[in-house]
Amino acid sequence: MGILERMRSGSDSTFMQVLIGLLIITFIGLNGRMFGDRSAVVATVNGHKILDTEFRRVYQGRLGQAEQQSQRTFSDAEQKELWEQVRQSMIEREVVLQEAHRLGLEVSDSEVARQLNDMKYLHGDDGKFSDELYAKFLKRQQYTRDDFEAQIRSDLLYRKTEQLMATAASLSEPAIREMFVEAATRVNLNVVRVRPSAFEASVTVSDQDRTDWLAKNESRVKETYDKDYDRLYNHPEQIHLRMIRLAITKDGPQLGDLVPKLNALKDQINGGADMGELAKRWSEDPSAVQGGDLGLRPVAQLPTEVSRGIDGVPVGGLSHVITTASDVRLVKVEEKVAPKVDGFDDVKNTIADGLIKAERVPAMAAEFAETQLLTKWKESGQVPQDLLDEKGLTARETGPIPTHSQNNPFAPPQEMLNAARKAKEGEVLPEVYEAGGVYYVGQLVQKVDPDMSVYESQQDRIREQALAARREEFYQAWVGDLKSHANIQIQ
């Protein structure tokens, strides 16, 4: 007998109101048939196995929900990323549930019954819970009653533990005030981004340097060659074309009118007219501004109709008039380039030089930023433009920006923003800051302090937002600590 038969009461509680809809989201992942090998394991957490069947239920539901929200089918790369996200979330869930059991937390039968009663799609036309609808639902989801209610109990325990740990976090009023100040402060920085690529021309690799380096690193060069083979060294057959294209439109000339017109242009070209000038005048393709020049491109990438139309046409020759459902085309073959492969021995030295420079230029960039740019900028208080001009670098103002980067890839490093928040206007920031291999040197131009009257008037809302952020941060740190001490094996 199920829990609802033992507990027909559906009375509300504050806790259950917070949890309302939790399982609706969870069970989006339970649609459809069970997938995969019932004995296969995707991960083991402290000896507990997360089975492939359980994992795929959740994954398929998350994928369906994500594709519905984005209104498109996910690419293979996106599906792979989601696959790993689901696996990690299930691992986190398992370590939390294990800790909940260790702490002695429980979910009562009444809590499970109330959650069942909150599932409105299991209610009949009379508004009451329907055993018949429940049975159909279980059959459709391929669950037994006991397994389904055990899943509900597990979901409620997870959420109860999450709430318990989150509420352990607290913030003092001074801390909340400081968080507001940090979030509302704006700074305008004059920043120089020192990229290692600016120093590549300064690196000279002698023959002896290369020989010595290759003696130790030739395998790296071969790995680089193999990795970039298709992109850089395997050159397919290419062809250089020029084209005049006339479009077939609903209200314009049709195929029967356009073919004679294009044949007339072909006759002019055969008679000595410049095809480029005719393309500029008549072609309705974007390439018309370049005289119909399509440039050099791989033969394999040509449209099928064009590829067939130029088959057997020599360099300098014209195709017949090529027709498609949307246009007619006349194509001239300007040049043909045979396929070619750059052998490893042919490019080995070039690859080695590139790798050697890649090793050396970061140190050169860091040394320049630290001992030259920062030092001279501090001494004068002015941007050392002569140094920048020498390396082709520029100083640019950021405009007023927050002092927290919020994962903005275009913002200066967070450490630099932290220093700017404490600096005085006109002060050169004390260090060189690095992010993504780029070195940053800067000066605080302006600091805009927050309007504290906003804090006073909206203190309750700000406190609530700050506390919510702190609780989430605390909870994620707690889960991370649990994972770090757990025995997790990815299958």
- What was the pLDDT predicted at 235? 92
Q: Confidence class of residue 260 from pLDDT cuts 50, 70 and 90?
A: very high
Distance linking the first and last C-alpha atoms of the chain? 37
- What was the pLDDT predicted at 455? 81
Residues 6+ apart with CB under 8 A from 426: 381, 443, 444, 445
Residue 4, pLDDT > 90, answer no
Considering the chain, what percentage of its residues have pLDDT values greater than 90?
56
Higher pLDDT, 141 or 20: 141
- What was the pLDDT predicted at 18? 36
- What was the pLDDT predicted at 39? 60
Residue 197, pLDDT > 80, answer yes
pLDDT in tens, 72-97: 888 888 888 999 999 999 999 999 99
Q: Are 208 and 463 in contact (CB under 8 A)?
A: no
Residue type at position 233: Y
pLDDT in tens, 266-323: 999 999 999 999 999 999 999 999 999 999 999 988 988 999 999 999 999 999 999 9
Higher pLDDT, 22 or 219: 219
pLDDT in tens, 35-49: 334 468 889 999 999
Residue 437, pLDDT > 60, answer yes
pLDDT in tens, 116-137: 889 998 999 898 999 899 899 8
Residue 6, pLDDT > 90, answer no
Rounded (10°) angle between helices 145-166 and 109-117: 100
Q: Confidence class of residue 27 from pLDDT cuts 50, 70 and 90?
A: very low
- What was the pLDDT predicted at 67? 84
pLDDT in tens, 383-397: 999 999 999 999 999
Considering the chain, what percentage of its residues have pLDDT values greater than 70?
92
- What was the pLDDT predicted at 370? 95
180 burial type by CB count under 10 A (0-12 exposed, 13-18 middle, 19+ buried): buried
Structure tokens at 140: 């459709």
Q: Confidence class of residue 69 from pLDDT cuts 50, 70 and 90?
A: confident
Q: What is the average pLDDT score of the chain?
A: 87
Residues 6+ apart with CB under 8 A from 423: 429, 444, 447
Residues 6+ apart with CB under 8 A from 33: 142
- Counting other chains too, the contacts that 48-55 makes at CB distance below 8 Å and 24 or more residues apart are 48/94, 48/98, 50/87, 50/90, 50/91, 50/94, 54/90, 55/86, 55/87, 55/90
Residue with tokens 């609903």: 250
Report how far residue 137's alpha carbon sits from residue 158's, in angstroms, rounded to the nearest whole number. 23
Residue with tokens 């302090």: 449
Which of 138, 115, 125 shows the shortest CA–CA distance to 24? 115
- What was the pLDDT predicted at 162? 87
Give the least confident one: 30-39, 42-51, 244-253, 371-380: 30-39
Residue 24, pLDDT > 60, answer no
Residue 447, pLDDT > 50, answer yes
| Side-chain half-sphere CA neighbours of 425 within 13 A | 9
- pTM value is 0.52
Task: Tell me how long the chain is.
Answer: 491
- What was the pLDDT predicted at 11? 37
